[in-house]
């Protein structure tokens, strides 16, 4: 991944996605905003107790830095489930300047230019989807529940149903998220991942002592995308762990929940 504008309002991009000329994408950091206290400084969540005027200003600053139109943003309403919503220009502003009209949305898709998808993170796994033939995009929030619920597969299926996407035409990116070096879970959570028994679970579940396990969320999501017929060579994994890089990125575990929130952004560009 590449860190852009590090001295002003930083944001991350994937090299593989930056090669696609008809999209703009970004992943925010915890730097470059105006929030204070535990939210210092780039917090993009309105629901954690931050001053809403500060959050709005943070969005405006990030949009200016990364080249998005603030008025085109449409946000998810995440609750760790797997509902995928198609959005259009009619939904622009929802979750940012307009109230949320649906209370459970963990993935967004669109095929309209100038509609900027926004999803939220602070250790969970962002999934980026770009249909390179039909020109459609998607973003998904894959925490552990969304991962075992195969939200990545559900986005592929929804894009196929709504836009006629052929999964082999998708380019995908996974992360940044808490990585296998830092994501420890208990037996109950590990058992949920074992239920993905059509996948090679040995590659993303690693046992420790005292009935604890380390989980590789990025690898689990990569395998789920492959099972949904995305080409392995079209999937890029982030090389940044949110907890290991908590000076740059918000991590729920590193801060014991006293934190702000990052966002993934992506839009189709008009006439590209």
Give pLDDT tens digits along the chain (272 positions): 999 999 999 999 999 999 999 999 999 999 999 999 999 999 999 999 999 999 999 999 999 999 999 999 999 999 989 999 999 999 999 999 999 999 899 999 999 999 999 999 999 999 999 999 999 999 999 999 999 999 999 999 999 999 999 999 999 999 999 999 999 999 999 999 999 999 999 999 999 998 999 999 999 999 999 999 999 999 999 999 999 999 999 999 999 999 999 999 999 997 75
CA distance 17 to 24: 8
Catalogue all structural domains in the chain, each as residue range(s) with its CATH number: 2-177+235-268 (3.60.140.10)
Contacts of 138 (CB under 8 A, 6+ apart): 84, 107, 108, 109, 110, 117, 127, 128, 129, 155, 158, 159
Which two structure tokens, joined as six digits, stand for 62? 């990030």
Q: How many CA atoms lie within 13 A of 137 on its CB side?
A: 25
User: pTM, whole model, 2 decimals?
Assistant: 0.97
Q: What is the pLDDT of residue 272?
A: 54
User: Is beta strand 107-110 parallel, antiparallel or unpaired with respect to 136-142?
Assistant: antiparallel
């Amino acid at each position: 991944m590449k860190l852009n504008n590090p001295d002003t309002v930083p944001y991350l991009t994937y090299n593989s996605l930056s090669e696609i000329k008809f999209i703009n994408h970004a992943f925010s950091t915890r730097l470059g905003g105006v929030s204070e206290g535990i939210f210092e400084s780039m917090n993009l969540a309105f629901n954690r107790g931050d001053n809403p005027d500060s959050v709005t200003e943070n969005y405006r600053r990030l949009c200016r830095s990364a080249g998005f139109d603030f008025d085109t943003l449409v946000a998810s309403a995440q609750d760790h489930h797997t509902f995928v919503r198609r959005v259009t220009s009619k939904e622009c502003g929802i979750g940012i300047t307009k109230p949320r009209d649906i209370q459970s949305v963990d993935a967004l898709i669109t095929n309209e230019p100038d509609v900027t998808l926004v999803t939220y993170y602070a250790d969970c796994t962002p999934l980026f989807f770009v249909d390179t033939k039909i020109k459609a995009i998607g973003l998904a929030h894959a925490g552990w529940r969304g991962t075992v619920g195969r939200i990545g597969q559900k986005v592929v299926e929804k894009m196929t149903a709504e836009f006629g996407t052929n999964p082999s035409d998708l380019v995908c990116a996974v992360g940044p998220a808490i990585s296998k070096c830092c994501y420890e879970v208990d037996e109950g959570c590990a058992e949920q991942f074992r239920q993905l028994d059509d996948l090679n679970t040995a590659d993303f579940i690693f046992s420790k002592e005292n009935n604890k396990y380390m989980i590789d969320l990025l690898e689990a999501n990569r395998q789920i995308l492959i099972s949904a017929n995305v080409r392995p060579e079209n999937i890029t994994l982030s090389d940044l762990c949110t907890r290991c890089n908590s000076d740059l990125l918000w991590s729920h575990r590193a801060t014991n929940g006293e934190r702000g929130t990052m966002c993934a952004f992506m839009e189709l560009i008009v006439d590209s």
